[in-house]
């Protein structure tokens, strides 16, 4: 059987630092069939002795960009693949990827909203693809992003999120900082909990579509809270990743 | 971000999205948005919403409601084994 998601060769383009431990990589893929916001790719590294290792990474870029995708990768301590991407890979290098993959954690503009996006750390990456797609399609769907980071300097896409929120097209970005807060911090300063989720959801109402991505424990808290707040389970989509960076 | 790296069982718990590439290769189309009925408790969940455990010799999908094993995949050099005894059904929509 021919696999619908064949491995293909991507050429690394620009590499950008997002935070001290998070980098974005543009991958040139001339024959890329396009993706849906929220989908991911599998990335495979193979050593000369044949040892190979695969990891899944969410696509950060919007499908309206053709012939290339962005991956945003957090460097995980002892992470075989993320350490290689951060420490070894340079523009012009070639990487094996397959995709786009997934159809469950996906939002496209015609689905509508209102939209509540909940991110823990680098869980913001697939949600960023959704926000970039929302912007590019001129969608005015009322949308709120609740993003949890440990420290202010670890907020991924901070400037771009500020710019998107300033566009006045119905997007609000709400941050919580769980470990340390800069002087004068006006946002939340604790882990995501039921009360915070109720407050953030309130202006959108229980007809919202909800996408939650982050570490397993955060996803459990947020998804359970949504069901308790009266959202139908089939409108709450979740994606968990372990600290191993999958 | 919540740090639970001290807990080895939590460390490996992902969801069906993490197996999407492997499952699509086996079944020929995306599986994460395919609803499946748990044979143990009859709850219906999309594959993407099921719990995935990838730390063992194979990959295991468990029902998020009752924790029963729905699907197991073991990849060997010559073949891949898929055990679906825990699924009453998987529902593939006609397109």
Does the pLDDT of residue B3 top 80, yes or no? Answer: no
Q: In this complex, do B2 and A215 lie within 8 Å of one another by their Cβ atoms?
A: yes
- Please give the pLDDT value at position A246: 35
Contact list in A for residue B46 (CB cut-off 8 A) is 104
A67 and A157 co-located in one domain:
no
**Rounded CA separation B23/A4 (Å):** 11
Residue A1 forms part of a structural domain: no
Does the pLDDT of residue B1 top 50, yes or no? Answer: no
Helix or strand (DSSP H, E) at A78: none
**Rounded CA separation A188/A31 (Å):** 43
A164 and A186 co-located in one domain:
yes
Residue B2 forms part of a structural domain: no
Put simply, the chain B residues between 74 and 93 with a CB less than 8 A from any chain A CB are: none
Last residue of a domain, one of A101, A123, A157: A101
Spatial CA neighbour of A128 closest among A141, A119, A115, A138: A119
- Please give the pLDDT value at position A4: 66
A116 and A70 co-located in one domain:
no
Residue B53 forms part of a structural domain: yes
Domain hosting B44: range is 8-89
Pick out chain A residues at pLDDT < 70.
1-4, 242-246
Residue B59 forms part of a structural domain: yes
Contact list in A for residue B24 (CB cut-off 8 A) is 3-5, 101
Residue B58 forms part of a structural domain: yes
Residue B95 forms part of a structural domain: no
Helix or strand (DSSP H, E) at A96: strand A94-101
Beta-strand pair A68-74/A22-28: antiparallel
Selecting from B4, B15, B29 the residue whose C-beta is nearest the C-beta of A217 gives B4
- Whole-prediction pTM: 0.92
- Please give the pLDDT value at position A78: 77
Residue A246 forms part of a structural domain: no
Q: In this complex, do B48 and A104 lie within 8 Å of one another by their Cβ atoms?
A: yes
Q: In this complex, do A104 and B32 lie within 8 Å of one another by their Cβ atoms?
A: yes
Distance from CA of A16 to the nearest CA of B (A): 22
CB atoms within 10 A of CB A159: 9
A230 and A144 co-located in one domain:
yes
A217 and A234 co-located in one domain:
yes
How many pairs of residues across A and B have Cβ atoms under 8 Å apart?
Answer: 98
Q: Is A245 on the interface with B (CB under 8 A)?
A: no
Q: Is B4 on the interface with A (CB under 8 A)?
A: yes
Beta-strand pair A52-58/A171-177: unpaired
CATH number at residue A201: 3.40.50.80
A171 and A210 co-located in one domain:
yes
Q: Looking at residue A188, what DSSP letter applies?
A: B
Residue B71 forms part of a structural domain: yes
Domain hosting A26: range is 7-101
Name A143's bridge partners: A115, A171
**Rounded CA separation A243/A82 (Å):** 12
Task: Report, in this order, helix, strand and coil percent for chain B, each rounded to 5.
Answer: 20, 35, 45
Residues in chain B: 95
- Please give the pLDDT value at position B54: 84
**Rounded CA separation A111/A209 (Å):** 9
Put simply, the chain A residues between 223 and 242 with a CB less than 8 A from any chain B CB are: 237-242
Spatial CA neighbour of A118 closest among A9, A229, A215: A215
Does the pLDDT of residue B11 top 70, yes or no? Answer: no
A96 and A113 co-located in one domain:
no
Name A10's bridge partners: A95
A94 and A115 co-located in one domain:
no
The backbone region for A34, taken as left when phi is positive above 0, alpha when psi lies in -120 to 50, beta otherwise, is: left
**Rounded CA separation A144/B15 (Å):** 24
Name A53's bridge partners: A45
A97 and A122 co-located in one domain:
no
Residue B40 forms part of a structural domain: yes
Contact list in A for residue B20 (CB cut-off 8 A) is 40, 56, 101-102, 104
Using a pLDDT cut of 70, give the percent of chain B over it: 87
Contact A122, A74 (CB under 8 A): yes
Spatial CA neighbour of A23 closest among A90, A68, A80, A78: A90
Contact list in A for residue B32 (CB cut-off 8 A) is 102-105
Q: Into how many domains does chain B fold?
A: 1
Residue A2 forms part of a structural domain: no
Q: Looking at residue A55, what DSSP letter applies?
A: E
Selecting from A42, A99, A246 the residue whose C-beta is nearest the C-beta of B14 gives A246
A58 and A124 co-located in one domain:
no
Q: Is B7 on the interface with A (CB under 8 A)?
A: no
Contact list in B for residue A243 (CB cut-off 8 A) is 3-5, 11
- Please give the pLDDT value at position B5: 43
Question: Taking CA atoms, what residue in A is nearest to B13?
Answer: A242
Q: In this complex, do A239 and B15 lie within 8 Å of one another by their Cβ atoms?
A: yes
Task: Supply the ipTM of this predicted assembly.
Answer: 0.85
Residue A75 forms part of a structural domain: yes
Q: Looking at residue A91, what DSSP letter applies?
A: T
- Please give the pLDDT value at position A5: 84
Q: Into how many domains does chain A fold?
A: 2
Residue A201 forms part of a structural domain: yes
Residue A125 forms part of a structural domain: yes
Residue B61 forms part of a structural domain: yes
**Rounded CA separation A74/A58 (Å):** 11
Mean pLDDT of B28-55: 95
pLDDT digits (tens, 9 = 90+) for A108-130: 999 998 999 999 999 999 999 99
Residue A114 forms part of a structural domain: yes
A122 and A165 co-located in one domain:
yes
């Amino acid at each position: 059987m021919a696999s619908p998601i064949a491995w293909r060769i991507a050429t690394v383009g620009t590499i950008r630092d997002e935070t001290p431990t998070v980098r974005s990589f543009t991958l040139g893929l001339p024959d890329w069939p396009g993706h849906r916001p929220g989908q991911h790719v599998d990335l495979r590294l193979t050593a000369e002795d044949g040892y190979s290792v695969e990891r899944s990474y969410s696509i950060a870029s919007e499908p309206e960009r053709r012939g290339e995708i962005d991956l945003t990768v957090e460097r995980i301590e002892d992470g075989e693949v993320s350490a290689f991407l951060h420490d070894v890979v340079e523009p012009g290098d070639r990487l094996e990827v397959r995709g786009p993959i997934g159809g469950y954690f996906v939002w496209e503009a015609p689905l509508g909203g209102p939209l509540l996006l909940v991110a823990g750390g680098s869980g913001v990456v697939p949600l960023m693809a959704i926000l970039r797609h929302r912007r590019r399609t001129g969608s005015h769907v009322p949308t709120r992003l609740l993003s949890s980071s440990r420290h202010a300097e670890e907020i991924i896409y901070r400037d771009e999120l500020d710019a998107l929120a300033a566009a006045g097209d119905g997007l609000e970005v709400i941050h919580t900082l769980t470990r340390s807060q800069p002087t004068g911090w006006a946002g939340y300063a604790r882990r995501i909990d039921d009360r915070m989720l109720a407050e953030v959801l309130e202006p959108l109402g229980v007809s919202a579509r909800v996408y939650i991505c982050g570490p397993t424990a955060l996803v459990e808290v947020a998804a359970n809270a949504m069901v308790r707040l009266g959202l139908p389970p089939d409108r709450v989509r979740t994606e968990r990743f372990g600290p191993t960076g999958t | 971000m919540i740090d639970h790296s001290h807990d080895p069982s939590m460390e490996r718990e992902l969801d069906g999205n993490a197996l999407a590439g492997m499952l699509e290769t086996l079944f020929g189309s995306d599986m994460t948005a395919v609803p499946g009925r748990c044979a143990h408790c009859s709850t219906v969940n999309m594959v993407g919403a099921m719990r995935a455990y990838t730390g063992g010799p194979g990959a295991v999908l468990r029902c998020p409601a009752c924790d029963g094993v729905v699907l197991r995949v073991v990849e060997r050099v010559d073949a891949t084994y898929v055990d679906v005894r825990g699924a009453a059904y998987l529902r593939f929509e006609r397109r």
